[in-house]
Amino acid sequence: MTNTQLTLVQIDNYGPWTVTPEPRREMDLQTLQSRLFADLAQFVGHRGGYAFFTRFDNMVAVTNGLDLDDHRLLQESTGNRYPVTVSLGIGVDPNPAVALERATEGLQGAGSAQDGDRREVLSGTPVTEPSGDDVSIAHFDVNDATEKYTDQLNEFDSFIQIEQGYAALMRYLREEHGGLSFFVGGDNIIAVTPDMAVADYRAAIDHVEETVGVDLKVGVGQGEHAHAAGMAAKHALEECRHHGTAVELGGAAGEVESE
Ligand SMILES: Nc1nc2c(ncn2[C@@H]2O[C@H](COP(=O)(O)OP(=O)(O)OP(=O)(O)O)[C@@H](O)[C@H]2O)c(=O)[nH]1
């Protein structure tokens, strides 16, 4: 059974900082945000985790495999290298939405994101007894996005199609299962999911097709941490391409179930 460990990464007092002493150049803010995300992705990725940029001032990471010392090091290293600091809330639960809720409560309980004196909070407790199926990753991909969109439409109209698919999927998985979906570029969406059956994924894909006409496939994998689960998911997605299937579940042990 899944036991997802999520970390909410929140830049401390960022709103006021962006306009103090006067509004800062937008491209400087974009550079800071994307570099901070790149560093977070690298830090977490080297320890088997996944990081998602979400809104950039708040980012979400799957941190199974990272302990409290790892989190403290991330805060120290960020504070040393950036003009901003980060607070980190950790939450653990079989259901990813509940895990994020717990992670969020820890930070909200310590004060507002815009409290000048709420800095470098570290709350929550990491997983104590890891197991091989703690993390479930579902890697979604739009079918023939290159042929249907990239090679046919201008970039903005392609982007609208992909974003519509993302919006429909993220809402459906959040509401029906507590799964959290993140756009990761191109036509790819990675979801952190609870235990779900092939038929559940099939229903999600059907819902997106019926509501916005975007055609998805998905590979799903489990692992002790996000990297292992995500690699199993990528291999399962290749199985979809190979067999022409919409859903492939590549379990932790590599068994494959499809529809
Ligand atoms: N983040 C991420 N993006 C990917 C990955 N694979 C492909 N992409 C992105 O997806 C875009 C489209 O590639 P594909 O999904 O292979 O192309 P497609 O035309 O949809 O073809 P099929 O998926 O085989 O139907 C690429 O330009 C990349 O931006 C991946 O593993 N991770």
Instruction: Provide the percentage of residues in the chain whose pLDDT is more than 90.
Output: 85
What average pLDDT does the segment 246-254 reach? 76
The pLDDT of residue 254: 45
In which band, very low, low, confident or very high, does the pLDDT at 144 lie, cut at 50, 70 and 90? confident
Q: Is the ipTM reported for this complex over the cut 0.85?
A: yes
Q: How much is the pLDDT for 248?
A: 96
- Work out the mean pLDDT of the chain and round it to a whole number: 94
pLDDT of residue 111: 85
> Who contacts 27 (Cβ-Cβ below 8 Å, separation ≥6)?
none
pLDDT beyond 90 at 211: yes
**What pLDDT does residue 230 have?**
97
pLDDT confidence of residue 255: 47
Task: Give me the mean pLDDT over the 181-189 stretch.
Answer: 97
**Domain range 135-258, its CATH number among 3.30.2310.20, 3.40.50.970, 3.30.70.270, 1.10.1740.10:** 3.30.70.270
Give the single-character DSSP code of 91: E
Nearest of 235, 234, 226, 229 to residue 45 by alpha carbon: 226
What are the respective helix, strand and coil percentages of the chain, to the nearest 5? 45, 25, 30
User: Mutate which of 146, 181, 231, 238 to test ligand 1's pocket (most atoms within 8 Å of Cβ)?
Assistant: 146
pLDDT at 258 over 80: no
Closest alpha carbon to 250 in 191, 94, 228: 228
pLDDT at residue 172 is higher than 50: yes
Would you place residue 252 in the very low, low, confident or very high pLDDT band (cuts 50, 70, 90)? low
**C-alpha of residue 143 to centroid of ligand 1, in Å:** 9
DSSP-assigned beta bridge partners for residue 220: 138, 249
Query: Which band of pLDDT confidence, cut at 50, 70 and 90, is reported for residue 122?
Result: very high
pLDDT number for residue 138: 98
Instruction: Give span(s): CATH 3.30.70.1230, the chain.
Output: 4-123
Kindly state the tokens that stand for 151: 């090679």
C-alpha distances in angstroms, 248 versus 142, 229, 254?
A: 15, 13, 11
Measured CA to CA, the distance from residue 229 to residue 193 in angstroms comes to: 11
Q: Is 188 exposed, middle or buried (0-12, 13-18, 19+ CB in 10 A)?
A: middle
pLDDT, residue 257, reads 57
Over residues 71-86, the mean pLDDT reads: 97
- pLDDT, residue 146, reads 86
- Return the exposure string of 42-80: e unless at least 16 CB atoms fall within 10 Å of the residue's CB, then b: ebbeebbbbbbbbeebbbbbbbbbbeeebbeebbeebee
In the CATH scheme, what architecture does the domain 4-123 have?
A: 2-Layer Sandwich (3.30)
The preferred substitution site among 37, 151, 188, 214 for testing ligand 1, maximizing ligand atoms within 8 Å of CB, is 188
Q: What is the mean pLDDT of residues 7-33?
A: 94
The response to whether residue 141 sits with its C-beta less than 6 Å from ligand 1 reads yes
Q: Specify the domain boundaries for CATH 3.30.70.270 within the chain.
A: 135-258
155 alpha carbon to ligand 1 midpoint, in Å? Answer: 15
Tell me how far apart the alpha carbons of residues 214 and 137 are, in angstroms, rounded to a whole number. 21
- Over the stretch 61-77, which tens digit does the pLDDT of each residue have? 999 999 999 999 999 99
Q: How big is the CA angle at 115 (ends 114 and 118), to the nearest 5 degrees?
A: 120
- Residue 166 has a pLDDT of 98
Task: Give residue 251's pLDDT.
Answer: 66
